[in-house]
Amino acid sequence: MSNQRYTRDGSEALENMLALSCERIGEKVKAIVPDSQLEALILAGGYGRGEGGGFKDGDQDLPYNDLEFFLYIKGSPRLNERKYHDAIHRLEHEMSEEVGIEVEFKISSLQSLASSEVNMFYYDLLCGHEVTVGAKDVLAGVEFSHHQDASKIPMHEATRLMMNRFSGLLFAKELLQQSELSKEDTDFITRNIAKAELAIGDALLCAHGQYHWSCVQRHENLKALAAEDLPMQEILSHHLVAVDFKLHPKLTSVSAEELVARHEEVSQLAWQVWRHIESLRLSYQILDAKSYALGGDKCPETFALKNILLRLRSFGPKACIGERMFRYPREILLNVLAVLLWQPNAADLNWLSGQFCTEIGSTDEALKAYKELWERYN
């Protein structure tokens, strides 16, 4: 059983439950992948870093976050994904039902990790993880050390973080338009507002080279960050609330009116940070969401030929016409998110159809297309 804590201050019962779950998951993975091929099974995410959340249900602590595993197998990750996909997918479903939270696996190889470029996800993984199967020092080699320097995380990772977390605001906004909210709806909205509050500060730190794997230390770093064009005290206040929610999530009953007001407040703050970071990253002043969406290449770090192939695979030949044929498909998400979340009155259906390379007849259809694309390029 692991000696590492999965939470900062969760009960021993919760810690033992998570340890036993990881041990059981490890045994089931070993029954699927032969020892000769299995390099390691590593728990990432909040629980892997010892900052997972547990919420109170009566007198007991229950897990709240997903269990996110990296499954490292010798050979080609793409071929191994095909080979083990069905068995691993069944295991995800089985263990999610058993543990009561989502269990996810990402198949890769240690060689692929060593040769990968620095990003926020790998930085978090290298700096905080729990080895469930394999040598405890499996990631201690010098070949992985480039992933441990937060100052090397490129600025487009801050944009990617914002895109993912602010997409949660967009999905929450859709739910808030319903006449009634279920308990699950309220939890989804509350959770995604908190994730956006955290990302507002985290993205700023990343863009300014001061990101840290620990959410507690990130808040300390944020206190020292100066940005004259941003309301830093407001950002700090929301970030502190989000850190507390991450470590101690709560399922509270909140009125729809309160959720709408909180969503609007966080969304407006998110736009200010989005505009600040994207103006820095793209080296031009952004005026509003629609002008941003109509602007130039949002993913200049990508390669034209690869982008053409990705667009062809995602949308067919019609997507490979005009200057946008060389653009990375994630640019569509950046453009559409900005408009639908912050300037929906500018969401022209012809423009949306052009973005998605298909006929879009309503905002609901645009949101459906957005979700489908987001699941592939988040």
Tens of pLDDT, residue by residue, the chain (378 residues): 345 899 999 999 999 999 999 999 999 999 999 999 999 999 999 999 999 998 887 778 889 999 999 999 999 999 999 999 999 999 999 999 999 999 999 999 999 999 999 999 999 999 999 999 999 999 999 999 999 999 999 999 999 999 999 999 999 999 999 989 999 999 999 999 999 999 999 999 999 999 999 999 999 999 999 888 999 999 999 999 999 999 999 877 788 999 999 999 999 999 999 999 999 999 999 999 999 999 989 999 999 888 888 888 888 777 666 677 888 889 999 999 999 999 999 889 999 998 998 899 999 999 999 999 999 998
Q: Are residues 30 and 107 in the same domain?
A: yes
Residue 90: strand, helix, or coil = helix
What CATH number has the domain bearing residue 238? 1.20.120
Q: Are residues 233 and 266 in the same domain?
A: yes
In a domain, 7, yes or no: no
Cα gap 300→302, rounded to integer Å: 5
Domain hosting 272: range is: 150-286
Residue where a domain terminates, one of 255, 286, 317: 286
First to last CA, the chain: 34
E strand or H helix at 133, and its extent?
A: strand 130-133
Instruction: Tell me the one-letter amino acid at 207.
Output: A
Q: Are residues 16 and 86 in the same domain?
A: yes
Cα gap 207→209, rounded to integer Å: 6
Q: What is the domain count for the chain?
A: 3
What CATH number has the domain bearing residue 124? 3.30.460
Q: Are residues 327 and 280 in the same domain?
A: no
Crossing angle of the two packed helices 330-342 and 256-282, in degrees rounded to 10: 130
In a domain, 264, yes or no: yes
Radius of gyration of the chain measured on its C-alpha atoms: 21
Sign (positive/negative) of CA torsion 173, 189, 156, 198? positive
Cα gap 246→249, rounded to integer Å: 6
Cα gap 174→97, rounded to integer Å: 27
pLDDT tens digits, 188-235: 999 999 999 999 999 999 999 999 999 999 999 999 998 889 999 999
Residue where a domain terminates, one of 268, 286, 304: 286
